Amino acid sequence: MTKATVIRSAEAPVQCLPWGSMQWLVNGQTAPGSAMTLGRVTFKPGQSNPSHAHPNCDEILLVVKGTVEHTLPQGGTVRLEAGDSIVLPQGCSHTAKNVGSTDAVVIVAFNSPERRTDVKE
């Protein structure tokens, strides 16, 4: 029988970045044996993460607070409000920008316990 793993938000490390923060709640390190990665990303008002791609996994992003403008793999952008989601295929370059006046919070999930990120310059 497999045991459940509890990850307390207060104990999960937070990576602070110029544009916001990332907190990885579930991945191969925090939950050995997990097949996924789950995190919380906060974007400061007017800020965006750098363009990047995940060469080894798909990504699902769920906006839980604020308004985010997200690039689309086929070109253009889409505005996402709280409750909206986007599914990004493995390998596609993308970025998200907080277009609101308060912090935007999103939950991100990947179908790999060791998500890789290639930043596009």
Q: Taking the C-alpha atoms of 114, 10, 6 and 57 in order, what is their torsion angle to the nearest 10 degrees?
A: -20
Instruction: Provide, rounded to the nearest whole percent, the portion of the chain with pLDDT above 90.
Output: 88
Q: Residue 3 above 90 pLDDT?
A: no
Res 20: pLDDT: 98
Return mean pLDDT, the chain: 95
Q: How far is CA 117 from CA 18, 55, 60, 92, 97, in A?
A: 17, 7, 14, 11, 18
Give the CA distances from residue 57 to residues 10, 86, 112, in Å, rounded to whole numbers and listed in that order.
Answer: 27, 14, 6
Domains along the sequence of the chain with CATH: 13-119 (2.60.120.10)
* Helix, strand, or coil (residue 41): strand
pLDDT of res. 73: 85
Task: Output the pLDDT for position 121.
Answer: 66
User: What tens digit of pLDDT does each residue of 70-112 get?
Assistant: 999 889 999 999 999 999 999 999 999 999 999 999 999 999 9
